[in-house]
Structure 1
């Protein structure tokens, strides 16, 4: 009697290996992020040592280095939060449209923000960074709502294809309006081109 052993690869082995690789990659990226955050606090116009960092975190700002850390730590934390928010926004945008290539440029968000800022500068004489920010936020929100409204028209509601097409059309229309507002105004056109 001849015995033959047939090895059948388990389908779970590839998945387990893939999850292990993802876990190690994520851990490595987190270590790199932590190192970059530490570098962000320590490297600057004035080098800061670990004693200054610990003293500044404890609330003491006696030396110039500790004062520098007191400014750099919130800046670094804010940068980390902003990056996380942008990543989350991108993931939500890709999830809602079910399109891994979805980005604010394709969906008209960037062009809507630019149009609102240009209109604010041309017609309302805004000049502060805060005013630019609020106009950009308003324009991006308006463009997003418009794209979703147009993409929801017709049978089937909002589909990835309709959202992408509505976003591309909105982006082109907003960019055209930006040019139409800027070209007759040499004072604005010079500032935007430089």
Structure 2
């Protein structure tokens, strides 16, 4: 291990392939923020009902509740906000998961987080008859948290502790088991199946401000916790032994990252359902642009995740008018080719 790498780790960074990436990282973050703004404008302007740009500007400068076009734009605002929040949460959680597991194929489902949230939501619907988002979000976070704790406890068994490989294996096994239990509950209750199958697709359509309020505090706390782990993830990227040698508490670092991921994924899954590919693809794009320093990868992944999900939602409205393709389907359609391209450029996305 070279001296420069060790010094970079002590300073909270990871040695980059060149100074160009470090110097351009703020520019990429600003460009991603501009992309988010563009996606928001498109989300308000495009849909089953075509609106002119003049109408969009007028709705913001001189809103008239009696105007049908203005009412349509107003109804798209909470949908856009939820798309931003969920996309940012999944992108941020995906980057953190890939960093803590040192696995480029990891996503928020690696620790069984999404499967635990889904099972908890189904159980709340089936056993307790819950249907409101205010109550379901807490069940989703609880299920995600329990699943993460179980995976970490199983992976910690043995002398080596919770290594990345053991975390991945335990997470995959638990996810399969929880998915089987979820399906078992669904086949016994048609009512629960009807309520769950629309949520399972993954969508931000039909959401209101009442759906935003319950998840904002959890997403805010999760984002703050996860963004604060950039230096810790940089240390973990060097390997557990070297991280410990530099004075880092590896188990505590992983626990803090897991806490942030649980809050982000639990709240995002509760409000929008399990949406795939955002947490998997976005971090690869971020690392390809700014290198391996998680102090930049994390915020960039959050911004790119928000832009991807809102953009996918807009594309879903336009592809088969006047009907809509749900955002969870469109993220897979848009994300799969990008991910295949990134896999071919494995040097650019390696951890």
Distance in 2 (CA, whole Å) between partners of 1:172 and 1:100 is: 20
- The structure-2 alpha-carbon separation of the partners of 1:175 and 1:21, relative to structure 1 and needing over 3 Å to count, comes to same
Deviation at 1:164, TM superposition (A): 0.8
Trace 1:101-140 onto structure 2 (pairs within 5 A): 101-140=105-144
Query: Contact 2:122/2:192 (CA < 8 Å) preserved in 1?
Result: no
Deviation at 1:173, TM superposition (A): 2.3
Deviation at 1:113, TM superposition (A): 1.7
- CA deviation vs aligned residue, 1:5-43 (integer Å, no higher than 9, x gap): xxxxxxxxx947778998998777666554433221112
TM-score after normalising by structure 1 = 0.70
Structure 1 window deviating more from structure 2 (31-40 vs 96-105): it is: 31-40
Deviation at 1:129, TM superposition (A): 4.3
* Equivalent residue for 1:65, pick from 39, 64, 69: 69
Q: Which runs of 5+ in 1 are unaligned?
A: 1-13
Trace 1:52-91 onto structure 2 (pairs within 5 A): 52-58=55-61, 60-61=63-64, 63-91=67-95
Query: Contact 2:126/2:192 (CA < 8 Å) preserved in 1?
Result: no
Deviation at 1:163, TM superposition (A): 0.8
Q: Which runs of 5+ in 2 are unaligned?
A: 1-16, 199-351
Query: Contact 1:109/1:144 (CA < 8 Å) preserved in 2?
Result: yes
Deviation at 1:186, TM superposition (A): 4.6
**RCO comparison, higher one (Cα < 8 Å, 6+):** 2
Distance in 1 (CA, whole Å) between partners of 2:114 and 2:177 is: 12
TM-score after normalising by structure 2 = 0.43
**What's 1:44 paired with?**
47
Task: Say what the alpha-carbon RMSD is for the aligned residues.
Answer: 3.4
Query: Contact 2:125/2:192 (CA < 8 Å) preserved in 1?
Result: no
**What's 1:160 paired with?**
164
Give the count of matched residue pairs.
Answer: 180
